[in-house]
Structure 1
Amino acid sequence: MLLHSRIARTAIALAGVAVLAACGEKATGPATPATVAAPTAAAPTVVPATPGPTAEADTSPEVIAAPATPTAAPTVAKTQGRVRIYSGPSDVPLSPEPGTGRGDTLIQLTATASADIGTYVADGQGRTLYRFDKDTAKPSKSTCNGDCAKTWPPLLVAGPGRIYPSGIDPQLVGYVERADGTCQVTIGGWPVYLYAKDTAPGDRNGQGVGGTWFAISPTGDRSTSEPEVVTAPTTATAG
C-alpha cells in the first residue's frame, strides 16, 4: 500500500508539472526538436533511346541541367522558455499537433501586404492578427480577459512550441503569460489577437474597432486606418 501511495503521489506531481509547462517558462529542459516531414526525392524517369532511321551516331553535346539552389533551412533565432522562434518560415511542410485549448505547439506568422492599411501580420491560416491599445509592450501585458477574450481570442502558443515568422524580425517575436497561465504570442512586445467576426482569410473586420484595435504590423506598430470614403458631388453648385 505504501508503494502504491508513493506512485500515486508521483503521478499527481508529474501531472502538475505538465500543466505548468503549458506556458513554457515554469518548466525546465530543452524544447522538443522540430519534427518535419522529409521531402521525398522523385525517382528519375528513364526513357529508352529510340533508334532513328539511320545508324549515324548523335554527336550533339550533352546538356546537363544545373542543380537548383537549395533553400536554407531556418535556424533557431531565439528561445524563450520552452518556445523556439526560428529565423524564418519553414522550408518543408509542417504538421501541427491538435490544439489543447491552451495554445498550439506550432505558430506561423506572415507579413502580408495591403494597399489599404500597409503591411500587417496574419497567422498560418491567413487570419488577421490585431493589437489592443490598452495593452502594454514594455512590459508586455494583456488586459483583454473574460468576455473581451471571447470577442478577441488571444493567439496562444503551448510549450514545447515553435514559431516560424516570415517577413518579421524573429527577435521581435515572443510571448507573454496571461492571467490564466496561458502564453500569448507577442510582436514587438504587443500581445496579438484574432477577431471573432473575421470569418475568412484576409478579413479585417476588427480594424479600427473602438479606436483601439488595429491590425498589427511586423514591428508591433499599429497599421494605418482604412481610408475614409468621401462622396464627391456629381453636379456643380450654382454660385
Structure 2
Amino acid sequence: MIDQQASLNLSQYKGLMVGDAFLHNMDFVVEDLIASPSHVENLISILCEQMDTKNRVIAGTIFGKKYSVLAMNLFKAIIEQGTILDAHPSQVGLKPDKKGSMQFIFKESTVHSISSLSIRQVQMMIYTFIDTHLQPLFEAIAAKSGSKVTHMLSLVAHNLYQTSKKLKLEHPEKVEEIDTYFALFISDKLFVHGKPNPLSFEFDLYDPENGDDSYYVRKHCCLSYLRYDGDKARCCGTCPFIDRTKKKNG
C-alpha cells in the first residue's frame, strides 16, 4: 500500500475515485454483478435509462466501451505513476454516471507501488483484472443484455492499443517499459495451458491522408450511433464503419 498522495494523483484520472472517502458513492460491487443476475438486471436498466435507449444490446455494448476506461487507467497508472491498483472484483465499486459513463471506486488499500512488489505480484494483478474481473463481468452483462462478449472485449483491447501509442508519444524515454506492460495486457504471456488472453486482438493502424495523427481502427462498432436513428455521421472517429481509403497494418 502507498501513501494518500498517490491515491489523490490517481483520482485525477478520468472515472477513477481512489480512497475510502469515496466508498459511499458506489452503487455496485463488481463481485456482486458477476455473482447476481438481479444486480446485472438493475445495472442494465440504469444504463438504458441514462443512454435513452430501450435496446439492451446497445446499452451492453456501450458499457464495454465505457469500461475500457478502467483498463486504460490501470495501464497509465503503471507507466505514469509507478503504481498498480488491485482490481480484484471484490475490491472495485461502480457508479453509473451520466450517459452511461462509469465511476470506478477503489479503496485506498488497493493502491500499490510497483517498486514494492515482485514482478510476479504485478503480473498476477494484471492477470486477475483480465481473467477474474473483466471476462466474467462482461459475460454477466452479455447474458442479460444480449450484447457480444467478444465485441466488448475488443473495445477494451482497442483502448489499450490507443493508450500504448499515446503513452509512447508522451513518454519516449519509457518506450521499452510501455511495450513490456502492454504485452502483459494483450498477449498470452500470463495465460497457461493453452488458455488464450481474451484481450488478444490486433488492429489496423490508419494514417489519415490529411496529415492528422494515425490511430488504430476498431474491430467492432460500439453501436452508439444507433441511438441517433442509425446516423453513421455519429460514429466514433475510430469506428470500422467509417469509409477509409488508406490502411496499413500496425
Structure 1 or 2, whichever has the larger Rg, is 1
TM-score range for the pair, normalised by the shorter chain length: under 0.3
More strand per residue: 1
TM-score normalised by the chain length of structure 2:
0.23
Q: Which has the higher helix share?
A: 2
